[in-house]
């Protein structure tokens, strides 16, 4: 019922019997694994017509369970959107079954005796088709326009990033994710380098400057190390580490310990007595004229 081809075990038959006796239908996709290592573990039941749950890989949160979205028709405030639904060829049997189930609940059309009954029959029939299309189909909102720097390499890296995120723990960052971020940074850098290099007039320059965020005037001066000008913060830190800390090695160590004969019992000679005038001056004394 929930996972065709798999032999039921434990309380699976009891759950199926309860769903049948209580009128609660399984509204997920039979056989679609809901967990990282397979099998249908997350079940959704409903007695509301046309309610359904779908696995949304694009909304994967990094958990070992897949993200599911349950849609309950005619519940809540639906925002007004202008788009059409398209039914994939693989979902045509599902669409046909939904229409057949809805038509079986209609009155006999030959028994309609008034125009009001005919109008009500036509409205109900249109609702059946509309709900079946929305359930079996997908909204066609058109393809969005990607960012100008988004390249096929970014798209391929993004898909690998999503696939790797499903097989790693939430606290771990997979290698594919790091490579995807590196690819995005490289694509952005190359895009803006190309845009700046192709500036021909003031109009093109203004288009780029209008998106530029002015930096603070308080900017650290660049470092010049071995004739190389360094402005990046991380590169400065690496240069200072190599030039300051890296200039010493084991050859610079002292041959003998200068504190080998020190017993650590030395004391500083100082007077512990404080005069009354010194106390008054440092506590309630006036340091200025007002």
Can you give the residue ranges of every domain in the chain?
1-77, 79-143, 145-211
What pLDDT does residue 144 have? 61
**How far apart (Å, rounded) are the C-alpha atoms in residues 31 and 1?**
9
pTM: 0.35
SS3 73: coil
Q: What angle do CA 57, 182, 222 make, to 5 degrees?
A: 145
What pLDDT does residue 50 have? 82
Hey, what are 219's tokens?
């900017």
**How far apart (Å, rounded) are the C-alpha atoms in residues 171 and 85?**
38
Hey, what are 70's tokens?
């349950």
**How far apart (Å, rounded) are the C-alpha atoms in residues 168 and 158?**
16
Residue with tokens 């830190």: 237
**How far apart (Å, rounded) are the C-alpha atoms in residues 87 and 69?**
19
The answer to whether 150 and 187 have CB atoms below 8 angstroms apart is yes
b vs e for 6-21, b when ≥16 Cβ sit within 10 Å of the residue's Cβ? eeeeeebeebeeebee
What pLDDT does residue 183 have? 94
Closest Cα partner for 52 from 108, 165, 135? 135
What pLDDT does residue 75 have? 58
The answer to whether 130 and 102 have CB atoms below 8 angstroms apart is no
Query: How many Cα atoms within 13 Å fall on the side-chain side of residue 275?
Result: 3
pLDDT in single tens digits along all 290 residues of the chain: 677 777 777 777 787 888 888 888 888 888 788 877 777 778 888 888 888 888 887 777 767 788 888 888 765 665 566 677 888 888 888 899 889 988 888 888 888 888 888 888 899 999 999 899 988 888 776 666 678 899 999 989 988 888 887 777 767 788 888 899 999 999 999 998 998 888 888 888 877 776 666 666 667 888 898 888 988 888 888 888 888 888 877 888 888 888 888 777 777 788 888 888 888 888 877 766 55
């Amino acid at each position: 019922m929930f996972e065709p081809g798999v032999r039921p075990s434990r309380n699976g038959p009891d759950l199926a019997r309860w769903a049948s006796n209580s009128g609660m239908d399984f509204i997920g996709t039979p056989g679609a694994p809901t967990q990282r290592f397979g099998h249908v573990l997350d079940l959704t039941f409903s007695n509301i017509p046309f309610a359904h749950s779908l696995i949304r890989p694009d909304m994967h949160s990094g958990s070992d369970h897949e993200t599911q979205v349950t849609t309950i028709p005619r519940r809540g405030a639906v925002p007004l959107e202008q788009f059409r639904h398209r039914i994939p060829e693989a979902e045509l049997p599902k669409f046909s079954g939904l229409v057949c189930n809805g038509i079986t609940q209609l009155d006999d059309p030959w028994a309609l005796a008034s125009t009001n009954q005919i109008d009500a029959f036509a409205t109900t029939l249109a609702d059946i088709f509309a709900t079946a299309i929305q359930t079996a189909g997908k909204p066609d909102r058109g393809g969005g326009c990607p960012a100008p720097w988004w390249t096929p390499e970014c798209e391929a890296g993004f898909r690998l990033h999503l696939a790797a995120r499903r097989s790693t723990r939430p606290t771990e960052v997979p290698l594919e994710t790091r490579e995807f971020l590196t690819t995005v940074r490289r694509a952005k850098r190359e895009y803006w380098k190309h845009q700046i290099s192709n500036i021909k007039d003031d109009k093109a320059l203004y288009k780029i400057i209008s998106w530029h965020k002015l930096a603070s005037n308080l900017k650290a001066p660049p470092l010049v190390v071995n004739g190389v000008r360094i402005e990046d913060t991380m590169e400065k830190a690496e240069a200072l580490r190599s030039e300051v800390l890296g200039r010493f090695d084991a050859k610079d160590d002292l041959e003998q310990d200068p504190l080998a004969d020190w017993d650590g019992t030395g004391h500083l000679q100082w007077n512990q007595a404080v005069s009354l005038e010194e106390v008054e001056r440092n506590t309630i004394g006036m340091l200025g004229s007002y």
